[in-house]
Amino acid sequence: MRKIGFFLILLTTLPAWAQMDYHKTVVTRWAGPGQPGTYAEYLASHPILPLSWSELERRSSALDQTGPVLVVVEDSLYAPLQFELDRYLDDLTADGWEPILITMSGGTPEDLRGILQDYWVNDQILGALLVGDLPVSWFELYEDWDNDGQPDTPYQVQFPCDMY
């Protein structure tokens, strides 16, 4: 009975001892040269153009199938990188993957997400490699790392992310 009582006391007090002190949390910040741009600056330098994409190639492997992967290449980079992309597809195929190569230009992050979803549903792709200046989603949040109830400065942060 004493063991059970001690155990119950331990269980009720342990969370109080283990509370996280968020004041000691290391805050990640931009460490690159210069300052990162904003979403408005990104849109100004990347106007939304009509979507154009095409599937160029599908390869299958003679090895046990690891599964299909999608390689999405910015259309204007395909010709200059054709040799390197061909070698990459050869390497994937030799490792048992089934690469699917598509090129893309224009469009929005939602368009790219739709393409990825279509290949995931129809071909059960296990991953994707994005090559080039493709449409990118942005994320924004309000930070309060010191838990004082007031947003930090700058209180709204925006950054590109790969959540498609």
CATH number at residue 94: 3.40.50
Query: What is the mean pLDDT of the segment spanning 138-153?
Result: 72
Stronger pLDDT, 15 or 132, i.e. the higher one? 132
CA pair distance 130, 85, nearest whole angstrom: 12
Whether pLDDT at 97 is above 70: yes
* 116 domain residue, yes or no: yes
Whether pLDDT at 105 is above 60: yes
What residues contact residue 91 under an 8 Å CB cut-off, 6+ apart? none
* 156 domain residue, yes or no: no
Please state, in angstroms and as integers, the Cα–Cα distance from residue 18 to each residue in 3, 6, 7, 9, 50, following that order. 22, 18, 16, 15, 53
The backbone torsions φ and ψ at residue 140, rounded to the nearest 5 degrees and listed phi first, read -135, 145
Domain limits at 124?
50-137
pTM above the 0.85 mark? no
Stronger pLDDT, 8 or 69, i.e. the higher one? 69
* 9 domain residue, yes or no: no
DSSP per position, 73-107: EEHHHHTTTHHHHHHHHHHHHHTTEEEEEEEEES-
Which of 21-25, 114-118, 145-149 is least confident?
Answer: 21-25
Exposed e or buried b per residue across 69-87, where buried means at least 16 C-beta atoms within 10 angstroms of its C-beta: bbbbbbbebbeebeeebee
* 162 domain residue, yes or no: no
Query: What is the mean pLDDT of the segment spanning 1-25?
Result: 60
pLDDT digits (tens, 9 = 90+) for 66-89: 899 999 999 999 999 999 999 999
* 41 domain residue, yes or no: no
CA pair distance 97, 91, nearest whole angstrom: 9
> Interior CA angle at 75 toward 124 and 40, to 5°?
95
Secondary structure element (H or E) that encloses residue 58, with its range: strand 52-58
CA proximity to 97, closest of 126, 74, 119: 126
Secondary structure element (H or E) that encloses residue 138, with its range: strand 137-142
Number of domains in the chain: 1
> In the prediction, which pLDDT does 145 show?
66
* 125 domain residue, yes or no: yes
* 130 domain residue, yes or no: yes
> Interior CA angle at 41 toward 134 and 159, to 5°?
65
Percent of all residues in the chain with a pLDDT value above 90, rounded to a whole number: 54
* 79 domain residue, yes or no: yes
Supply the mean pLDDT for the chain: 84
